[in-house]
């Protein structure tokens, strides 16, 4: 193997890695944000999934370069452009991580066990960033505060109190702290029903 061939192979490997980094960031950032923060499908995108995405991309890109042959000569401007794109991508990813970590200070509700309730009914609230067990926050449906029975960073169990009225509202979580400063979750539709409807159902 000549030194020229070795140099071209090294350049191919370096270009493949840089292209992988750029594509990885372009794929993982929107995927993570959409799945965990926007559509609220999963709480986290695990490191195993991220590593798998990176390795698959690297393998595919390197195979494409390999099949095209190592003899290809890369123009210096192309290599400079790849380095520039990689630098911008890494900088953008660093800023995104700061933004994403800030989002993790806010509670997120992913699922509740029921969409309606009557007095003394328990409601399970699944999500993330609810805060530690020893610092329980509060759960409301509009302005009505529910009774907290269990609190953990990813699961809350609350009991519906005797309501002053019956209505359709929004259930949300408020973190521990001063009410003016505590952070609030996304809102989920919830109906506080009149228990008389149970008698009507039994009668029918």
The tokens describing 5, both together, are 């061939």
Summarised one tens digit per residue, pLDDT across range 58-73 is 999 988 877 776 556 7
pTM of the model: 0.84
Q: Do 12 and 97 share a domain, yes or no? A: yes
Instruction: Write down the pLDDT at residue 204.
Output: 46
Which position has the higher pLDDT, 68 or 34? 34
> For the sheet containing 167-174, what is the strand order?
116-117, 188-192, 167-174, 138-141, 144-145
Q: Per-residue pLDDT tens for 63-118?
A: 887 777 655 677 788 888 999 999 999 999 999 999 999 999 999 999 999 999 99
- Owning domain of residue 64: 3-103
**Phi, psi of 168, rounded to the nearest 5 degrees:** -100, 125
Output the domain CATH number for residue 156. Answer: 2.60.40.10
Last residue of a domain, one of 67, 83, 103: 103
Same domain, 138 and 179: yes
Say whether both 170 and 94 belong to one domain: no
Q: Looking at the 3D structure of the chain, how many domains does it have?
A: 2
- Please tell me whether residues 67 and 112 are part of one structural domain: no
Q: Which long-range contacts (CB under 8 A, 24 or more apart) does 98-107 make?
A: 100/32, 100/33, 100/37, 103/37, 104/128, 104/129, 105/129, 105/183, 106/183, 106/184, 106/185, 107/131, 107/137, 107/173, 107/174, 107/175, 107/183, 107/184, 107/185
> 85 and 114 share a domain?
no
Question: Given this model, what pLDDT does residue 67 score?
Answer: 76
Instruction: Among 103, 134, 152, give the residue marking a domain's end.
Output: 103
| 169 vs 63, residue with greater confidence | 169
- Where residue 38 falls among pLDDT bands split at 50, 70, 90? very high
Q: What is the pLDDT of residue 203?
A: 47
């Amino acid at each position: 193997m000549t030194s020229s061939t070795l140099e071209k192979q090294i350049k191919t490997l370096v270009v493949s890695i840089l292209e992988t980094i750029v594509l990885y960031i372009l794929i993982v950032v929107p995927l993570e944000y959409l799945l965990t923060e926007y559509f609220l499908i999963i709480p986290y995108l695990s490191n195993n999934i991220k590593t798998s995405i990176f390795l698959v991309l690297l393998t595919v890109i390197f195979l494409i370069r390999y099949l095209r042959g190592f003899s290809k000569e890369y123009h210096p401007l192309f290599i400079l452009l790849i380095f520039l794109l990689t630098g911008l991508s890494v900088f953008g990813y660093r800023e995104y991580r700061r933004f994403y970590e800030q989002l993790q200070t806010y509670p997120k509700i992913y699922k509740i066990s029921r969409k309606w309730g009557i007095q003394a009914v328990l409601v399970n609230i699944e999500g993330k960033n609810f805060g530690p067990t020893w610092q329980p926050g509060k759960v409301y449906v509009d302005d009505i505060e529910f009774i907290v029975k269990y609190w953990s960073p990813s699961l809350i169990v609350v009991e519906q109190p005797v309501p002053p009225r019956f209505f359709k509202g929004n259930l949300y979580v408020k973190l521990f702290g001063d009410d003016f400063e505590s952070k609030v979750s996304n809102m989920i539709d919830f109906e506080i029903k009149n228990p008389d409807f149970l008698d009507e159902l039994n009668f029918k």
